[in-house]
Each structure stands twice: as C-alpha cells, then as structure tokens.
Structure 1
Amino acid sequence: MNPPIIVVTGMPFEARIAKGDGVRVVCAQNATLAAELEAVIASEGARGLVSFGTAGGLIPGVKPGQWVIAHKVLDMPQQARESVTSIPWAEALRRAIPAALRADLAGVTAPVVTAQDKAALFRESGAAAADMESHIVARVAQAHGLPFVVARVVIDPAERSLPPAALAGMRSDGSTDILGVLRSLAGNPLQLPALLRVGQDAGRAKKAMQYGRQIVALKLGEGFGAKAAGI
C-alpha cells in the first residue's frame, strides 16, 4: 500500500472539509502539530504534506475567500527562515485554481489580530497571508525530505481587526466556544457588528475551501502525489 498524502489543518472545520479518500488528515494546533505529524509519518509514512485551511490576509484589498498558493513559507519564529514549496505541486494547483495568488506566506505562533499588526507583518515579511501551521509543515517536510505545498484561503482581510469575541470563541484545540463568544458579547455588545462580519467572512472562506478541496482531490486522484512531484 502506498503511503498517504498528509493534509494538515489547524481547526476542526478545516479538517472536516479536507477529509476524503486518498488523504490522511492531521488536525492539530501549533504547539502539538510537529509531534503529531512525526507520529503519523513514523507509523504510516507519507508521500508529501499539504497545508490546507484558512489564513489571515496581509495584503490590503485581498478579500475573504481568496486562495493563496504559497511560493515560499517564511518561518517567522525562526527569523523568517524561507522554505520553498514543491514547485510542481504548487504549479499544478495554481493551474487548477487560476484565480489563486501565487505568493509567500508567513508562519506565526499566534493569531495576527489587529489591522496594525497585519500591516506590520506585511512590511516585515512581504507575505500575502499568515497562518499558524504552514511553517511547521515546512520544517517536518524538510526534515524527512518530503515535498510539501500550501493551499490556504484568506478568512479575514488585512484591513479588518478581529473583535475580542472572535478570539474568545476559539478553544485551545481550535473548536468553537459559543459560551465564550456570548460572555465576550455580554461584556461589550458594541462588537456585535464586527463579529457578524467575521461570520460572513468565514462563510465565504468555507465555500472557497469546499470548492478548492474538490480540485485538490482531483489532482490527488490523478497521481498528484507522485507524478507531479517527480517522486
């Protein structure tokens, strides 16, 4: 049996979208992701890694639902160390999703919450978006000599700060804490319009991911993991 392609997500809703025949999904938060990936590779092997899910926008004007296919992953915790994704894999996805941005992505250890912090990270990195898993995927892939690719959808635009309720509603495992949202809203009801916008943005991102997952699945089914990568 061929080893699987491992699809990495950070949040349960991303994992639900990513699941399907022919792939092994690992859903874990930043702190535990490397260990969980290593365990799966040790037990099942891997043909390559795919970082799939959402990302925060850093380029002004990029709207929620925009696909970003990473050229390089900038590991910000390791002084912006650069990791180039598999060019054949990334180009195959870019051709399949023509509207996708082919750009760099910044890997961070915590959400980039405010518009000011997003602007500062963009100035520092030049990246189109940021997420909390792709730099770890890059580290593990390089340690094992595996190809990897990053396909992420912008969920919150660069110009918009996240309201406190959006963060209060996220548990440590990435699942949603409704009571946390309600408590935050009770303390500051004025953030409700901003929270509703976050919900609308998330809806657009999810639709884009569901569409893109089918494209990725087709590529995987065509031997994307072996033929396109030359392995």
Structure 2
Amino acid sequence: MASKPVPPPPRPRLYLATPVTEDPAMLVASLPELLAKADIAAVLLRLKMTDQRTLISRIKALVPVVQPSGAALLIEGHAELVARSGADGAHIAGIEALPDAMDSLKPDWISGVGQLPTRHDSMAAGEAGVDYVLFGEPDAQGERPSMEAIAERLHWWAELFEPPCVGYAASLEEAREFAASGADFVLVGDFIWADPRGATAALMDAELAIRQGYVAMLNKAKAEQE
C-alpha cells in the first residue's frame, strides 16, 4: 500500500523586532499599519535600559497596540517583567541566562532564546523547554555567521527537532534563504525600519521574499520525491 504524502510545513511567518525604544510613541503610531498589512506572528520589543517601573510602563503602552491583531508581544530580556506588564513572553540571550528566565516564564508565557553559537547549546535550549530557538543574530561584538551557515543551522534544526526555529534576517536575500531552509519564522528588524520608503513597504517586501523562499523549498522537495 502506498504511503500517504507528507503534508508540507506551513509557510514561515514574520517576527518583527522593534528599534531599541526609549519612547514608545513612534511604535504606537506605526505598528497598527504594519500589523494590518503583513502577517506578523510576533513583535519583539527592544527597550533601552532604565528603571523597572519605566520599563513596565513602556511595555504596557504597546500591549493594546500589538495583541488585538493576534500577534504576540515579546520583550527582549527582562523575563521577570512579563507577568507584571501584560506581555506574552520574553526572548532570552544565551543558554546561561535561560534557567532563571524559565523560572519566571513557565508555564504561562512564551520563552525564546538566541545567542546559541553551537549545536550543543541549541539542543540544550530545546531540552530546557523553550518555545523557539533563534539563529543568526549578531553577537556582543556585532558579528554574525554567514548566511550559508545560518541557513544550514536552520535546516538541521527543522529536520530533527520539534520546537520552532527562527532565522534572523538582515536583508531580503536572507529572509528568502531562511524561509527556503525550513525556518518557522523569520525575524526582521533594523533593515525594515531603516528603509527610506518606510517600514510598511519594506515589510511587504520581506513577506514576499519569505513566500518566494517557501515556494522554492516546496519545489525542491517535490523534485526530490519524483
């Protein structure tokens, strides 16, 4: 009896990182249009350091902007503020910071982790129960792996492990390549906000690039089965 064909994975979705924010007014004004125009699964709020009360106030300003669209609002770091701010979760940098963060986040809030330079670190994060792993973001010195190395890591993870993987894309080319490599989500940020045409146009281009990469992945899989 012929085996049933394996259904294709869902198309990767956008994960939008904000600029490092001190005053949330710009995001309050710009995010509604972006969330309406593109299929954004989550927004990563990056906050300039200050006291906890001010941080919580800034997060709370974005909660009613992001969540009604169906997107999740995650905070970069500050896992201890999630419950008090109304955010949906936190993104943690590095395997060393994960145990304390997971104590704050589980089981009610989303936990993601990046800064995973080795496969061993990636697997340790998965075993810790994170909700996603991120590959390709800059390290403390601003250095990143090559696009090919990030794509290889995404493909390896997607083939072997259940938690979703996210590819950090610094360009449309990377967004397309990471979608083709099996990423569940593609994180875009600085190049979206820096686009002289405006963030909406840049985000629409990123969504198209993801769609193109996904189609390329499906076509490659179909060709390999024939």
TM-score by length of 2: 0.31
Higher strand share: 1
Structure having greater relative contact order (Cα 8 Å, sep ≥ 6): 1
